[in-house]
Amino acid sequence: MRRLRVDWPACKAHGLCAEVLPERVHLDDWGYPVVTGDVPEDLLRLAKAAVSACPVNALRLNPLKEKS
Amino acid sequence: MSVLARTEELLSRPWTLSYQEHLDAHGTLPALAPHEVIALAEGAGLRGRGGAGFPLARKLRTAAQGRGRPLVIANGTEGEPAIRKDSTLLMHVPHLVLDGLALAARAVGARESLIAVHSGLVAEAVTQAVAQRPDRVQVHVVPPGYLSGEASALTRSVLGGPALPFVRDVPLAVRGPQGRPVLVQNVETLASLALQARFPGRPPTVLLTVRGRDVQVLEVKIGVTIGAVLDTAGETDVQAVLAGGYAGTWLSAPRALDVPVSHAAGTLAAGLLLVLPHDACGVSAVAQLARYLAGQSAGQCGPCANGLPALAAAWELLAAGDPPAGTVDRIERLAGLIDGRGACGLPDGAAVMARSALEAFADDIVVHRTGPCGRRSAELPR
């Protein structure tokens, strides 16, 4: 399982992530991504495609553990 | 009410204690090993007093175990206009804070420590205090504003960048922008640590800013009820209370009075208790706060830049009375759209404030559906 994270200051609402990975991303009122859940193995390929589709590199795919 | 002491130890003198006076009043700082400092923080259960309430010992340990020598920053910026506890502390007992900074630096093996403040009287008091001490601390003056004291924004400012928040994949205490850990601690947290070092086992206290008829800073034990604090402060005209900070939680009286000031109750945060009197309109107060928070957005993150002004506009329609159908639903939806979707906690806090206000002022909102309530507009510091 991996976690999608948006680099909010970088994101410019191009919306490609929602087109590539509608299973986990839809767009809000202003065109910014709403991430709806973590990414299981079977969606990993598409999630990586969504990450590389972003023209401003604002989407990241991180491992789940993120606590200090 | 024995659990409460106003201006007790931390705030007992209306002037700045010099280093010598500080030593006379509090004694010398014991020389502690790094693990002893962390054990003190752990034993007393100290948590961050900037708002997030993160356990101090865990953050110290994280920074100590990180790669590279940590940079330690005491955060004395206090960007929120209603809160005065940190500036009160820095104006009166800056050396207690600087002792805490020295202890934190020791705990994590840092060679570099800074104290960050906004310009003005606080910066003057701190600069003077730093010059009196044997240890070396830099004073960093941060641009004014609500967000410039946010930990990531502060770190960037200290490292020569703009004072704007950024997205972190790991906490700053693990790895900062330069690779090495950055430990950012609120100044009150550090003062508490310095008191623990001198008086181990002393029950930890927290500072609150109470704003009603008067503005007061009180020292209390965690868990005391809001009612007891307001009693001591002499605030008797209480319609509702905003607890924590501007991005905090609204509670309506009389229920609010029985709620404890604590991390668990979500009422402690940055230590604000703002009292709304009976003759003021709560909905207008919320609209003002929502507009204030929208104005503080750095505009970096889409959901915040768009959502906070939309949220403020919805509250303003509600405050004016007879709003378009669905305005309350829209507020709920907007709160959901901003929550957790930014580089910093500003949109999350605005969502907390808005949601709690819907509950606390539910009856007033019903009145406002047909027109203004006729009560005066509240005046909040901005």
Report the topology of domain B4-198.
Answer: Rossmann fold (3.40.50)
Residues in chain B closer than 8 A to A9 (CB atoms): 164-167, 300-301, 343
Buried (b) or exposed (e) across B188-201, using 16+ Cβ within 10 A?
bbbbbbbbbbeeee
Report the topology of domain B205-278.
Answer: Ubiquitin-like (UB roll) (3.10.20)
Q: What is the pLDDT of residues B296-315, one digit of tens each?
A: 999 999 999 999 999 999 99
Our count of domains for chain A comes to 1
Residue B328's CB is within 10 A of a number of other CB atoms, namely 17
Say whether domain B281-377 belongs to CATH 1.10.3720.10: no
A66–chain B Cβ distance below 8 A for any pair: yes
User: Residue A31 domain-assigned?
Assistant: yes
Q: Are residues A68 and B302, on separate chains, in Cβ contact within 8 Å?
A: no
Chain Cα centroid distance, residue A42: 15
Give the per-residue pLDDT at B282: 98
Region label for B266, one of left (φ > 0), alpha (ψ between -120 and 50) or beta (otherwise): left
Listed by number, the residues of chain B in 268-327 with a beta carbon closer than 8 Å to a beta carbon of chain A are 300-304, 306-307
- CATH 3.40.50.11540 residue window(s) in chain B: 4-198
Contact partners, residue B147, CB within 8 Å, separation at least 6: B79, B153, B163, B164, B165, B296, B297, B298, B344, B346
Q: Which domain holds residue A19?
A: 2-62
Residues in chain B closer than 8 A to A63 (CB atoms): none
Q: Are residues A9 and B173, on separate chains, in Cβ contact within 8 Å?
A: no
Q: What is the pLDDT of residues A31-66, one digit of tens each?
A: 999 999 999 999 999 999 999 999 999 999 999 875
Residues in chain A closer than 8 A to B337 (CB atoms): 28-29, 34
Give the per-residue pLDDT at B16: 83
The complex scores an ipTM of: 0.93
Q: What is the pLDDT of residues B81-135, one digit of tens each?
A: 999 999 989 988 999 999 999 999 999 999 999 999 999 889 999 999 999 999 9
Question: In the structure encoding, which two tokens stand for residue A14, read together?
Answer: 């191009």
Give the per-residue pLDDT at B14: 54
Residues in chain A closer than 8 A to B301 (CB atoms): 8-9, 11
- CATH 1.20.1440.230 residue window(s) in chain B: 281-377
User: Residue A43 domain-assigned?
Assistant: yes
- CATH 3.10.20.600 residue window(s) in chain B: 205-278
Peptide bond into B254 cis (omega under 30): yes
User: Residue A32 domain-assigned?
Assistant: yes
Contact partners, residue B1, CB within 8 Å, separation at least 6: B228, B231, B232
User: Residue A68 domain-assigned?
Assistant: no
Q: Which of B108, B331, B341 to mutate to test the interface with A (most CBs of A within 10 A)?
A: B341
Positions in chain B short of pLDDT 50: 1-13
Could you give the CA distance from residue B38 to residue B61 in angstroms, rounded to a whole number?
A: 7
CB B102 within 8 A of CB B29: yes
B147–chain A Cβ distance below 8 A for any pair: no
User: Residue A67 domain-assigned?
Assistant: no
Give the per-residue pLDDT at B169: 83
Q: What is the average pLDDT across A8-13? A: 97
A8–chain B Cβ distance below 8 A for any pair: yes
The CATH number of whichever domain residue A51 belongs to comes to: 3.30.70.20
